[in-house]
Amino acid sequence: MSEATRPAVLSAVKSDQLAAQVSDASPQPRISITMNETVSSSVEIKEPPSTSPTMQAAEHPPEPPAAEQPPTVASSPAPSDQPPSVTYSPPAAGSPTEPVTGSPAAALLAETAAEFPEDPLAGQEAKLRVSESLEWVTLSDGSRYRGGWAADQRIQEGVGQLCFADGSEYVGEFADGVADGVGVFRATDGGEFRGRLRGGKASGYGTYLFPDGSRYCGSFAEDKRHGRGREVGRDGVVYVGEYVANAKQGEGVLQSPNGDRYEGHFVNNELRGFGTYEWSDGRRYQGQWDRNLQNGQGSFRWPDGKFYEGDYVDGKMQGRGTLLWPDGRKYQGQWADGQLDGEGVFWADEHRWRMGLFKQGRAVRFFDDQWQTGAVEDYLEKRKVLQGIRKFGGGFTPSPSQISPSQVPPSRAPSSRASSGRAR
């Protein structure tokens, strides 16, 4: 078979992509396996203050709990500029990239092992074997190919092996000159894709092993992680959940090796929507998230029994909320910057309470000199009367600032009779 009958022009893809490409003037066969992001499921946990809310004297509200710092999910770094190594060596057992045996992260891997097999080509080794007796054909760009050809000997067909000048390699099935079926692509930096391709791109189930030891198992579409998948980051953090165009998006579980766990909604690699975060020391937040921070309605429970439920803004208690202590004390009212701030009611126990003004976690003043035992609603009605919001009297003289304009009586308003007399 003369050289002229072989594809005359073939070239590798740019070195900053984990890809291999075969091109011909007519037609243009190609192989393209591109990973645009490096897997990174790392979670940064900001530890809370070492001190918990203090328990003060019964007549004074306790200090509020310090604001809990939520975890952050690091977005995947930019693709490497390094060209694609021929060989891939998996991380050694027990290396830092592998969750420790018996850890929650390792347990999650075990639970999902059947859904996400580590080697999608297991049992197909014989199918993908390229005969050593086949002749290597050196192409014009320096790459070499051996394997099956179509009947016209112009395009690759069947099983073949394509080695590029930069050292990257594809071994697998071809159809109509394009990688199509199952195969293995090895990049020069040590990355390796194993799985199914369609039209020269990773599509369907596959795995990608990164040179730092992190790996992805799951669904691909058009060379992107898309659908349901599982990541194991280089720090041992495990993510299992939905992807859209390489980004964590939808419902998922993020498990840290130290036992911290988030289960809930993701949008574009961020915690956003409703979710639950559990710390390994027993703390637990359940509620709304936005931009990796608690935002909206949520509840927080401490291991010692304290419980908060209310509003959050950018990871801090802000707005209206209720804090309960295990001994029966309770604060209900306004919060700002993670502290009691504004008007609120403090219960010393189930029956006794006082309303007051709070600032930066401390009571500035109470509105009464004694504990109240009636309904808070009745007390609020009483305060409205005393403040002149509805009426004033009983010897109480409100200040002008406490009286709305409609309540200020005219100081020299003539009677209707006097007015009539002057008219005469």
**How do residues 76-134 score in pLDDT, each as one tens digit?**
222 222 222 222 233 333 344 567 778 899 999 999 999 999 999 999 989 999 999 99
Query: Looking at the predicted structure, is the pLDDT value of residue 184 above 80?
Result: yes
Work out the pLDDT band at 387, boundaries 50, 70, 90.
Answer: low
pLDDT of residue 97: 57
Q: State how far Cα 321 lies from the chain centre.
A: 25
pLDDT of residue 251: 98
The region of weakest confidence among 60-74, 146-160, 358-372, 403-417 is 60-74
Q: Which of 71, 113, 69 is nearest to 232 (CA)?
A: 113
pTM over 0.75, yes/no: no
For residue 378, how many other CB atoms are within 10 A of its CB?
Answer: 10
Phi first, then psi: give them for residue 379, nearest 5 degrees: -65, -40
Query: Looking at the predicted structure, is the pLDDT value of residue 299 above 80?
Result: yes
* One-letter amino acid of 399: S
Q: What is the dihedral of CA 236, 237, 241, 242, to 10 degrees?
A: -90
Percent of the chain with pLDDT over 90: 54
Count of all residues that appear for the chain in the document: 424
pLDDT of residue 225: 95
